[in-house]
Structure 1
Amino acid sequence: MQQLRLEPAWDRTLSTNDRQHIEHIFQETKHIQNSRISFSPIREAKNHSEALLITVLIHNGTDQPLTFHNKRLKYKIRDEVIGDYLFTLPELSVPSNVSMPWTFIFPKGSYMRNVPFENGELNII
């Protein structure tokens, strides 16, 4: 059975509204993660250095921990690739049958800048 888990820093700093939003997304999506890895969108934004921030709920429905060492992620909107970046995040490990929120940061130059970036989907390649 899928469980929601927060990384300790997220657990300490999440606002009540954000926590409720994430819990709602988890309740709506936890049943569709059978034996696979998927991402449920939470929010998208750009920061002060023009990096694209894609916050998702990572669902690891597999029987193996999910790590991010040289994992290529693509951010798509209507099948068009908007962002493409190779991530190595030693601090991120999602245990088997766990869902965890995370923000993936696509640096300036790794995504198309002059297109809308809302309502996309994130995929592991």
Structure 2
Amino acid sequence: MQTIHLQSAWKKTIAEGDLNELKALLVVGKTERFIPYRQAFNHQGDLLVTVLIQNLSSVGDVWDTKLVAYVEEGKTIAECSFSIDTVPPNTSMPWTFIFPKDRFIQTPMKTGKLEER
């Protein structure tokens, strides 16, 4: 069974209600790499996509630099490279990916998903 791993910054700031909602997303049998949670625009117009990153393997998932795309209806809206902490084995870790507005190919509708490239 997957457990949630929180980075220290998340441990300090996450509300109990949000943590409970994230735990509810951990449904047995979900094999998606990214389980969607929330999407929003910040005050600068950047797209924030919060997901649970799943590591279903028995080894740590190292994120030195990975290309991640935000895709709506099969069309790439934005791509960025991200470097984040290692996701421990058999865990899911909440993370917010920020896609700067100057990287948009077109304006997002906030109905998309993430894909690792």
What's the TM-score bracket when you normalise by the shorter of the two chains? 0.7 to 0.9
Offset at 1:12? 2.0
Following the alignment from structure 1 to structure 2, what is the Cα–Cα distance between the partners of residues 107 and 115? 11
Where does residue 31 of structure 1 map in the other structure? Answer: 29
- Verify the 8 A CA contact 1:82 1:112 in the aligned structure 2: yes
Work out whether 1:123 is the aligned partner of 2:115.
yes
| 2:48 pairs with 1:53 | yes
Task: Give 1:95's aligned residue.
Answer: 88
In 2, Cα distance between the equivalents of 1:53 and 1:101? 13
Q: Unaligned stretches of 5+ in structure 1?
A: none
Normalised to the residue count of structure 2, the TM-score between the two structures is 0.88
**Identical pairs, percent:** 33
**How far apart in 2 are the matches of 1:8 and 1:88?**
16
Match of 1:17 in 2: 17
Query: What is the distance in 2 between the residues matched to 1:57 and 1:10?
Result: 12
CA deviation after TM superposition for structure 1 residue 67, in Å: 2.4
List structure 1 segments (4+ residues) > 4 angstroms apart after TM superposition: none
Unaligned runs of 5+ in 2: none
Deviations 1:85-114 (A, max 9, x none): 11123xx21011110100011112222352
- Pairs within 5 Å for 1:77-92: 77-89=72-84, 92=85
Task: Please state whether the residue corresponding to 1:73 is helix, strand or coil.
Answer: strand
Count of residue correspondences? 117
Q: CA RMSD in A?
A: 1.7
With normalisation by structure 1, the TM-score equals 0.83
Letter in 2 for 1:40: I
